[in-house]
Amino acid sequence: MEKIEVNALGKPCPLPVIETKKAIRQLGDTGGQVTVLVDNDVAVKNVTKMVNANHYQIDAQPVGENFQLAITVTQPMATQEPHAGLVIAFGRNVLGEGDPKLGQILLKSYIYSLTELDTPPEHLLFFNSGAHLTSQDSGVLDDLHTLEDKGSQISTCGTCLDFYNIKDQLAIGEITNMYAIVEAMDQAGKVVTI
């Protein structure tokens, strides 16, 4: 039986879940055991939820101030059904309400998590302050390049780039207009607005 260890100590959400999923996939069709080390209850709950959704066995044990999760994998991980025409519209450069610094951290984590989906979004639309996310000083460019390489189309509102005076700083994707944004949303199978 193949065994893989994942050290997710000190890693913020959603990295423990993502690294656990990668390890499970690495086992392939033969299955085996994945041992994951985490250092907080939230990581234990999130990994456990993902494991239970795939019908694997998990045993969580405290180890000092940390936790060891022993996962027994008996079948390949189920692949997600592709999202038919998923469009994500970023109308701001933070995620959620509250402290802007936390919102930037959460948005960076959100965009990174998109890179780990089995099927990436079809189209990412950036407008209003979300236009800053595709500019040269954006902290999410590497993840946006990964999504583009996986086939996601990236479009930023030209009026917004002009308003913020950052059109010459556009670092990824194409410049679009509001009509094209509305059309992309209208034709999408599903739209998520951030």
Last-in-domain residue among 73, 95, 120: 73
H or E segment to which residue 50 belongs = helix 41-53
pTM of the model: 0.71
In a domain, 152, yes or no: yes
Angle at CA of residue 167, ends 164 and 173, nearest 5°: 120
Angle at CA of residue 119, ends 75 and 149, nearest 5°: 125
Domain that holds residue 51: 2-73
Same domain for 113 and 174, yes or no, is: yes
Q: CATH number of the domain at 37, please.
A: 3.30.110.40
Number of domains into which the chain is organized: 2
Per-residue pLDDT of the chain (194 residues; tens, 9 = 90+): 799 999 999 988 788 988 998 999 898 888 899 999 999 888 898 899 888 888 899 999 999 999 999 999 987 766 655 445 899 999 999 999 999 999 999 999 999 999 998 889 999 999 999 999 999 999 999 999 999 999 999 999 999 999 999 999 999 999 998 888 988 998 899 999 99
Same domain for 69 and 19, yes or no, is: yes
